[in-house]
Amino acid sequence: MSILLEKDVGMTEYIGKHKGFTGILKMRYQDFMVNEIDLQGKVVHLTNFDTEVVREHEPIEEKAVLHIPNDVLSAEDIDGLKNLDGNTEKAAFFVIKTVGMSKSQRTEIHKTVSQLFPKLETKTVKNETTDEQEIKVMKFFSDSNKRKRSNKDRGFPYCKFVLYKENIATMDAVNLILKKLNLRHARCFQYAGNKDKRGVTVQEVTTSISPERLVPVNQILSNIRVGNLVSCKTAKRLGDLNGNQFSIVIRNTLDIEESDLKAAIKSFSQTGFINYFGMQRFGTNNVPTYEIGKSIISSRWEETVDLILSSCFKDCSEETINLIRNWREENNAKKAFDKLNRRSSFEGYLLLGISHFGPKQLVQSLARIPRNTRMLYLHSYQSFVWNRIVSRRFLTFGDSPVVGDLVLAGNEKEVYMHEENIDNYSIHDVIMPLPGHKVTYPTNSALQWYKDEFKAAGIEESMFDHKVKEYYLPGAYRKIINKPNDVEWDIVKYNDYQKPLLASDKDILQGGERPSGEKDGKFTALRISFSLSSSCYATVAMREVMKRDMSSANQTLLGDKHKMECSNAAPTSVNVAPTSVNVAPTSVNILANTNE
């Protein structure tokens, strides 16, 4: 399959009347920063790398220097533990003598070793010769039940932490952490949504593993950081967020005058944008995720397996590809899994499931893939249909409400527009349903459009009430127009596209400041920040501002051309404050010293 373009997933229309312009989004991954907004409306930031865990809703006290009493660990014990910690042999161990010690004293040793040496684990054993109890300290290579229990203290079974990542998708970041920490299942991490790969993103994650297990992440992974650890009572669920705050650089803005740029951002701030689901909703592999969603909804299980497994062909040898294509034959799934370069992948989980349950028990095999991922396949199909229907609606009816449209009333109950109430609503009130078993569909032409989409996919409406209850889709509603909040922007000049124009949470933690640009820079960039509600896409918002195809294929072409232009630009070392442009004080503020 060729690379997806916006038109392939139903994104064809704009609502603003302003002039568009050319620019490059995400030329550097550092040009796109996302901070999650939690359910309390607070922007999530990485503010510390501390490994100390505090209770949720309890204030974080200043971390004290760890003191080791002489009666807990001797100097000889500390030296032995340090040597073991640096030992690469799996069978290596160290014994702490505890002759004459009480259970509480041994417990204190266990706790102290866990704090000082998170890569080691302890176990009380009996000396075979003396029959005395002693503590055996080993390298930590597997997830022990004792470590799991230590995190489930007094009704706080989960650890919530802030995940900061650079140029890696959330799912891939979780898989990488699993691999580095020698954990098996992605299910032990929960998060509200998958953040973009190409960007610097910050979000909250919960886990059932002990906080001590997370400590090595900051030392062994260069593009991932964890911090702000808090023990909590409940795990994150998909959709547990209020939105996201975005800080974005659009480089090499062309074909627009200052007055037109003002008009574009004013329209964006006051009118908003068509609330399409963005390209990342539909995957980056050779098989769009909505195709997998179709097959799951219609219970075409063999087709589902074929589609998912074909996503890893580009990284496999011909021998492995042949095994994967013939996964129905005995032992082929296990052989293919053993040859995969990335076993901690969704394709790997599926092959492992097939090898365990057999090629006839595909529902059980698919369940080896984390539920969040499987539901994203279904949601992708819903999003695909929604995009296509909304585009037809704007093409047919324009940007005004019409009879038969749906709106949400004051009690959050969907109601139809009719001649008597249509003047009470605007286009910003109109909603469109995502397909499901419990939604109400519009009574105008859109009703038939939905039926046409289902028929083309081989789906009957009754299939949304899925026989496998895990895949039951009640449906939902989504406003067809969305408006951003807290829009701030300015213009900066630059010569080198590789020089940063934003400061990340990690930059700020390390004492960095927001870049100011170059006074005599040859190229112009739009620097903009804003907040969107959950399930809204910044790339879609920027698409409305610029009126250009923001798909990766199109942006890559523009980026490659700009790299050549930058190589010919004369460098300059003069740093000045950016040139600011004021649009409308009531709706747009100048970006000045904003904490991004």
Per-residue pLDDT of 570-583, as tens digits, reads 554 444 444 444 43
Reply yes or no on domain 386-481 having CATH 3.30.2350.20.
Answer: yes
The answer on pLDDT for 99 being more than 50 is yes
β-strand partners of 194: none
pLDDT value of residue 181: 87
Provide the CB-side half-sphere exposure for 565 (13 A, CA): 15
The answer on pLDDT for 115 being more than 80 is no
* Rounded distance between C-alpha atoms, residue 308 and residue 257, angstroms: 47
Does residue 490 have an active-site annotation? Answer: no
| Region 249-254 average pLDDT | 94
pLDDT value of residue 59: 42
Residue 566 · residue 496 · CB < 8 Å: yes
Helix (H, G, I), strand (E, B) or coil at 97: strand
Nearest CA-CA partner of 274 in 62, 1, 12? 12
pLDDT value of residue 85: 82
Q: How sure is the predictor about 415, in pLDDT bands with cuts at 50, 70 and 90?
A: very high
Residue 541 · residue 273 · CB < 8 Å: yes
| Region 92-102 average pLDDT | 84
Domain covering 75-147, topology: Ribosomal Protein S8; Chain: A, domain 1 (3.30.1370)
| Region 537-558 average pLDDT | 91
| Region 100-111 average pLDDT | 79
Residues 496-513: pLDDT tens digits?
Answer: 999 999 999 999 999 988
Radius of gyration, CA atoms only, the chain: 27
76-85, 151-160, 245-254, 255-264: least confident range:
151-160
Nearest CA-CA partner of 459 in 374, 540, 510, 384? 384
* Rounded distance between C-alpha atoms, residue 12 and residue 314, angstroms: 30
Give the residue extent of every domain in the chain.
6-31+244-275+483-590, 42-56+156-232, 75-147, 289-372, 386-481
Phi, then psi, of 225 in degrees rounded to 5: -135, 145
User: Which tokens belong to 595?
Assistant: 């904490």
- 248, amino acid identity: I
- Looking at 245-300, list the stretches that DSSP marks H as alpha helix, in order from N- to C-terminal side: 258-270, 289-297
* Rounded distance between C-alpha atoms, residue 57 and residue 49, angstroms: 19
The answer on pLDDT for 69 being more than 70 is no
Task: Pick the catalytic residue from 77, 196, 399, 405.
Answer: 196
Nearest CA-CA partner of 533 in 44, 39, 198? 39
* Rounded distance between C-alpha atoms, residue 165 and residue 163, angstroms: 6
The answer on pLDDT for 466 being more than 70 is yes
pLDDT value of residue 333: 86
| Region 128-144 average pLDDT | 74
For residues 183, 184, 188 and 194, what is the CA-based torsion angle, rounded to 10 degrees?
100
User: Which tokens belong to 69?
Assistant: 């009493």
The answer on pLDDT for 431 being more than 50 is yes
User: Which tokens belong to 532?
Assistant: 């969107």
* Rounded distance between C-alpha atoms, residue 391 and residue 589, angstroms: 31
Residue 433 · residue 476 · CB < 8 Å: yes
Helix (H, G, I), strand (E, B) or coil at 25: strand
Residue 118 · residue 213 · CB < 8 Å: yes
What is the DSSP annotation of 158-215? Answer: EEEEEEEEESS-HHHHHHHHHHHTT---GGGEEES-PPPSSSEEEEEEEESS-GGGGT
Q: How sure is the predictor about 57, in pLDDT bands with cuts at 50, 70 and 90?
A: low
* Rounded distance between C-alpha atoms, residue 292 and residue 374, angstroms: 9
Mean model confidence pLDDT for the chain: 85
* Rounded distance between C-alpha atoms, residue 428 and residue 176, angstroms: 41
Q: How sure is the predictor about 544, in pLDDT bands with cuts at 50, 70 and 90?
A: very high
Residue 120 CA to its chain's centroid (Å): 31
pLDDT value of residue 483: 96
| Domain 42-56+156-232 classification at class level | alpha beta
pLDDT value of residue 214: 87
pLDDT value of residue 413: 87
pLDDT value of residue 581: 40
Q: Which residues have a Cβ under 8 Å from the Cβ of 467 and sit 6 or more positions away?
A: 299
Q: How sure is the predictor about 343, in pLDDT bands with cuts at 50, 70 and 90?
A: low
Q: Running DSSP on this structure, what letter comes out for residue 446?
A: H
Exposure letters 86-114 (e unless 16+ CB within 10 A, then b): eeeeeeeebebebeebeeeebebbbebbb
Percent residues over pLDDT 70 in the chain: 87
Residue 276 · residue 338 · CB < 8 Å: no
Nearest CA-CA partner of 54 in 160, 207, 189? 160
- 378, amino acid identity: L
pLDDT value of residue 588: 35
pLDDT value of residue 582: 41
What is the DSSP annotation of 202-253? Answer: EEEEEESS-GGGGTTHHHH-SSEEEEEEEEESS---TT--SEEEEEEEEEEE
User: Which tokens belong to 119?
Assistant: 């890569």
